[in-house]
Homo-oligomer: A and B are copies of this chain.
Amino acid sequence: MGSIVVQKYGGSSVATAEHIKAVAQRVKKSRESGLDLAVVVSAMGNTTDRLLALAREVSLAPSPREIDQLLSTGERQSVALLAMALHDRGVAATSLSGPQAGMKIEGRHGSGVISEIQPGRLRSLLAEGQVVIVAGFQGENASGDVTTLGRGGSDTTAVALAQALGADACELYTDVSGVFTADPRLVASARRIPHISFDEMLEMCATGCPKPAMRSVEFARTHGVRLHVRSAFTWEPGTWITEEDPMEQAIISGVVDDDSEAKVTVNGVPDRPGIAAHLFRTLADADINVDMIVQNVSAAGVTDISFTLPREDLAPGTQITSSIAEEIGATGVTTDERIARVSLIGAGMKSNPGVAATMFEVLAGQGVNIEMISTSAIRISCVIPEDDLEKAVNALHDAFELAAT
């Protein structure tokens, strides 16, 4: 066998029959270049949303097992259609559902975890010279029930398959042509990053960059799978995500913006051990995904705790927080929906202590008020007023010279 490559095409790349034919053409070219190919495909366009709407029509609270049984048909359809389109182009190909491809899944329906891949059938098909098309997002649990990995699960399927097959690379095709130094819709001079480390990519995922799915990057880092994020609509190279390469390490790789969160502040919290634990445990139990948390040192025995959470969780999150605030004797709860987060990501930050100071100076120079700050070894995030987001991202992109090649 030659080099094995896993390719993954998302739902927007296979949204229509025409799109599927274009993907088939691309797979054919890749195959003709001598690669052995396993191709992971998502459900066509809005199929998953359409099926979910149907489920809600017949049931107020559809069972997760049956939702998985229902949703998994979307990927089964797209793999069969892609195999047909390849046959039409003279390419030997076989489609496999998740269970047929040996994807074993454990954990809850709708958010399963790959426990094992038994790639026997897949390997023999590759050995026969077949392109193998695998349904993403799905597998089978120990009871033989179809179980899905949750949204973004096709990326994880692809990366896990690349690991199981010892593939040279896992190519994630999307509707953007890679990972950028900033969101091109906000920053005209944003530039595609040719190469980024797993750690930097994870920080980008965590701070709002939507693709690829964070879990798949974590999996790739753990197992050393080389990722290549690229566009399904062009042949230009995209962004490679691999182990860090110190030789070409930039101080800052990119600026990431996120305007999907809201902020909650509890004022006048008595400074006793266990209070923060109580609050965030209660929020976690209600499935509210708290992101940044900032607590200042206390003055006069009381402190303020601020945190961010997805805007759609603001109403239940505020309710829970208010009831706990009363219980612990805090003075009040305030919320703000009109915030945004701007983050600098860069592995080079570790050895460049002035980055944070520069960031704050740049924002101050633009008259942007910083409401919260949080940092990691390779990331600095500031919460700012939502209306200042575009100005802030552009100023930081310029200040750190990210447009330069």
Contact for A55 among B81, B100, B121, B144, CB less than 8 A:
B81
Q: How far is the CB of A65 from chain B (nearest CB, A)?
A: 8
Residue-wise interface mask of A (78-91) relative to B, using a CB-CB cutoff of 8 A (1 in contact, 0 not) = 01111111011000
Q: Does A286 sit at the interface, judged by CB under 8 A?
A: no
Q: Is the CB of B70 within 8 A of A58?
A: no
Q: How far is the CB of A76 from chain B (nearest CB, A)?
A: 5
Residues of B within 8 A of A69 (CB): 76, 79-80, 83, 95, 97
Alpha-carbon distance A60/B82, docked complex (angstroms)? 13
Q: Does A62 sit at the interface, judged by CB under 8 A?
A: yes
Residues of B within 8 A of A87 (CB): 59, 61-63, 66
Q: How many protomers of this protein does the assembly include?
A: 2
Q: How far is the CB of A220 from chain B (nearest CB, A)?
A: 29
Alpha-carbon distance A371/B249, docked complex (angstroms)? 90
Residues of B within 8 A of A77 (CB): 51, 54, 70, 73
Q: Does A250 sit at the interface, judged by CB under 8 A?
A: no
Q: Is the CB of A61 within 8 A of B88?
A: yes
Kindly state the interface size class of chain A when it binds its partner. 35 or more
Chain A interface main SS type:
helix
Residues of B within 8 A of A144 (CB): 100, 121
Residue of B nearest to A55 (CB): B84
Q: How far is the CB of A117 from chain B (nearest CB, A)?
A: 16
Residues of B within 8 A of A145 (CB): 100
Alpha-carbon distance A21/B59, docked complex (angstroms)? 9
Q: Is the CB of A58 within 8 A of B21?
A: yes
Q: How far is the CB of A132 from chain B (nearest CB, A)?
A: 13
Q: Is the CB of B51 within 8 A of A66?
A: no
Q: Does A20 sit at the interface, judged by CB under 8 A?
A: yes
Alpha-carbon distance A82/B59, docked complex (angstroms)? 9
Q: How far is the CB of A376 from chain B (nearest CB, A)?
A: 42
Residues of B within 8 A of A35 (CB): none
- Chain A contacts with B in 111-158, Cβ cutoff 8 A: 121, 144-146
Residue numbers of A with Cβ under 8 A of B are: 17, 20-21, 24, 51, 54-55, 57-63, 65-67, 69-70, 72-74, 76-77, 79-85, 87-88, 94-95, 97, 100, 121, 144-146
Please name the 5 residue pairs, one residue from A and one from B, whose CB atoms are nearest each other, closest first. A17-B57, A73-B73, A70-B80, A59-B84, A69-B80
